[in-house]
Structure 1
Amino acid sequence: MPTIFRPRPRKTAAMAALVLATATAALLPQTTAFAVAPESITTHSGATTDQERRQVEAYWTPERMKLAGALVPEITPVPEDDNTPDDPHPLPAGTPDPGATWRHGGAVAKSVGRLFFTFPDGYDGSCTATVVNSANRSTVITAAHCLRSVGAPADDGTWNHNLYFVPGYRNGTKPLGGFSIRSMATSSRWNADPGRTTSEDIAVAGYDTGVLVANPATAGRRIAEVTGSQKIGFTEPVRDEFIHTFGYPKGQLNDPNAKYAGSRMIHCAGQARPAPKAPLLWGEPCDMTHGASGGPHFAQFDTRTGTGTVVGVTTTSAELAGGETPMLYATRLGDSARRLYNWAQTRLL
């Protein structure tokens, strides 16, 4: 069945997470809670004390990071490193790319990273996230489904734990260190009653954006002071606009045929198209899989400097949203994402 890029907790013994229930926002049932209530911001605390920050830091060992996403980590071999050689030459502008290890460095290799978390049942997973320009120099953007499932926000069991962002993650190492997360937010649409409204309804309706506020590094530096940051834009999608996408996809780690293991950052590039089954989502040809969720979709990306404007975050593939295969679709950033961003960048000032 079609899936959104989120691994399910271990007790389900499956990587599939969310199933398409409706093709467009216009088809969503008007009786659902999120269809009638005004949208607001739902927030949640992460590691707020020094002790909590140390615990998160100690939890994410190199081996645990490498195995994040394994269905049965106790018997899953640690993935091999991706030692594809770096290329100091910039990728020629406008070069289509259906999926390959990013070898060209630049700012994107520092500001994008792997976001680790633990599901409430103890299963470890990962997504992708990006440091963006912000007043507090501490704002990170990802997908909402990387942070929580549908349900009452007061229920701690709807939120993931042990959130830890590793910018520039590479083969189990932390080139720029790791950052625990102080607070996070999603649209209140994710607060819907799971008995009446599903996560796929909300994602297809364009609300799959989440924001994070990272704790400072041990030396007190804000994350953007360490990694740099990318521009963020809340503009309307443009058909055929050339978009660059980055992420840390991983197949099932016990599958010897899986192309990606989350070891290195992967790049795709191509012309943007709306999803046939979910037209609020826009995507480009790309073969990334689970783990790429939350990764940035850049407009006006400069391959010489590795900078661009984040206009969307990865949500799903063609299996869910339709279109040619392979395709990678994003929740494009609009008014809902702007509200989250404005909230996040005022924290820790």
Structure 2
Amino acid sequence: MEQIRRVIAGLATGVTAIALVGVTFPGPRAADIPDSRGDPWAGKPVESVGKIITDLGDGRVGVCSGAVVDSPSGSVVATAAHCVNTPDFPDTPIRGWFAPGYDRIGTAGAMKSGWKIESYHTPPGWDVSQRIEKILPHDYAFVTVEKKDGESVQDAHGANALAFTPVDARQRVVALGYAAGPPFDGESLSYCAGAVELLTEVTAHKSNVGGLLLEPCRLTRGASGGPWLQGFDEASRTGTVVGVLSVGSGAGQVLGRPYPAHTGRALFERAARAS
């Protein structure tokens, strides 16, 4: 636990060479979903959650996760800021796609059937000219996706509610994402579920203060940006996004980053207006 509390863990994103990737009755409510350390999602497809694929140039492809959140435009997807850019890769992606309900269709399939990303929205504090440990508290973002024949991604696949801080850390979360590092392959949805701890100045390195700690959870790179949901209802397969996956220790600890009440809401409104 001290590894993620006291130091900065590696980003749980995924970047790979483009040449190596391929072209009846309601279920249980959140309280009934068993704790999970990182298992394949065995429930009905969660269409409001999907895979984000970005073209970073020079043959590089970024792989992250995201979730549709309820918005006036119906075109807003919540994800992590480091899924957009980082100090090591400061440029905004050349192109990007969001593939809701992604399940073993390959990168080429996601590019063909996914929703094109029209704009990326990171908070002012996500200044990639700075060191990662300085900007990590701002590791939340939104992307705005296209409409298809006038229909929004929310109309087509549903949406989750979005909560801003303060987050009730007494409630369990279900963390969803397309983990791509071993033992996962990034081709199907995985999840962790359990109680969380809200990290404070007393318990955490300042870069992680305000984050939500979930352990044990073995989600790996590719799950970055995936939603941390409270009140998940498998009947509708939606919940309330209280954070997005930011970093992982590689030793069974992951950190979710909530959306701050002021800057997070302003960023959301900007993303909703961009459609």
Shorter-chain TM-score tier: 0.7 to 0.9
Offset from partner CA, 1:230-267 (integer Å, 9 cap, x none): 1111131333420111000111xxxxxx2101010111
- AA aligned to 1:126 is V
Give the conservation status (yes or no) of the 8 Å contact 2:227–2:243.
Answer: yes
CA–CA distance in structure 2, aligned partners of residues 274 and 131 of structure 1: 24
Q: CA deviation at 1:274?
A: 3.1
User: How many angstroms apart in 1 are the aligned matches of 2:220 and 2:94?
Assistant: 22
**Match of 1:119, SS?**
strand
C-alpha distance in 2, partners of 1:150/1:274?
A: 26
| Alpha-carbon contact 1:245-1:267 (below 8 Å) kept | yes
- Cα deviation per residue 1:90-118 (whole Å; 9 max; x = unaligned)? 24615211111112116xx1110000002
Q: How high is the TM-score relative to the length of structure 1?
A: 0.67
AA aligned opposite 1:131: V
The one-letter code of the counterpart of 1:336 is T
Q: Which of 136, 139, 153 does residue 73 from structure 2 map onto?
A: 136
Contact 2:28–2:233 at 8 Å: present in 1 too?
Answer: no
Provide the residue aligned with 2:85 in structure 1: 148
Tell me, yes or no, if structure 1 residue 222 matches structure 2 residue 222. no
Q: Structure 2: 5+ residue runs without aligned partners?
A: 1-7
The corresponding residue for 2:184 is 260
> Which residue does the alignment assign to 2:5?
none
**Which of the numbers 33, 44, 50 marks the counterpart of 1:105?**
44
Once residues 21 and 153 of structure 2 are traced to their aligned partners in structure 1, the CA distance between those partners, rounded to angstroms, is 32
2:244 is aligned with 1:318: no
State how far apart, in whole Å, the 2-side matches of 1:262 and 1:318 are.
19
1:296 Cα shift? 0.2
Partner SS state of residue 155, structure 2: helix
d(CA) in 1 for partners of 2:81 and 2:195? 25
Report Cα offsets for 1:192-242 as digits up to 9, x if no partner: 5x3xx2123111xx211111111112x331111111111111131333420
- CA RMSD in angstroms comes to 2.7
Question: Do 1:120 and 1:159's aligned partners in 2 also have CA atoms closer than 8 Å?
Answer: no
Moved more, 173-182 or 290-299: 173-182
Check the 8 A contact 1:166/1:177 in 2, yes or no: yes
Distance of 1:313 and 1:211 partners within structure 2: 10
1:345 aligns with one of 264, 272, 275: 272
Match of 1:329 among 255, 258, 263: 255
**CA gap 1:265/1:312 in 2 versus in 1, 3 angstroms:** same
| 1:301 alignment counterpart | 232
Conserved? CA contact 2:40–2:190, under 8 Å: yes
Within the alignment, does 1:289 sit opposite 2:225 as a pair?
A: no
Query: Deviation of residue 295 (structure 1)?
Result: 0.3
- Distance in 1 (CA, whole Å) between partners of 2:92 and 2:222 is 17
| 8 Å Cα contact 1:88/1:105 also seen in 2 | no
Change (3 A) 1:246 1:78: same
* Equivalent residue in structure 2 for 1:213, among 121, 125, 144: 144
Greater fraction strand: 2
Alignment partner of 1:239 is 2:169: yes
Aligned partners of 1:266 and 1:329: how far apart in 2? Answer: 16
How far 1:284 sits from its partner (Å)? 1.6
Question: How many residues in Structure 1 have an aligned counterpart in Structure 2?
Answer: 255
* C-alpha distance in structure 2 between counterparts of 1:302 and 1:115, whole Å: 23
Residue type of the alignment partner of 1:267? Y
In structure 2, distance between residues paired with 1:241 and 1:331: 15
The Cα shift of 1:89 comes to: 7.1
> How far 1:88 sits from its partner (Å)?
7.9
Query: Quick one: higher RCO (CA 8 Å, sep 6+), 1 or 2?
Result: 2
- Unaligned stretches of 5+ residues in structure 1: 8-68, 80-86, 252-257, 320-324
Distance in 2 (alpha carbons) for counterparts of 1:177 and 1:120? 21
- Residue by residue over 1:126-146, the C-alpha shift from the partner in whole angstroms, topping out at 9 and shown as x without a partner, is 100111100011111110110
Once residues 139 and 73 of structure 1 are traced to their aligned partners in structure 2, the CA distance between those partners, rounded to angstroms, is 26
Question: Shift in Å at residue 120 of structure 1?
Answer: 3.8
Cα distance in 1 for partners of 2:221, 2:124 equals 25
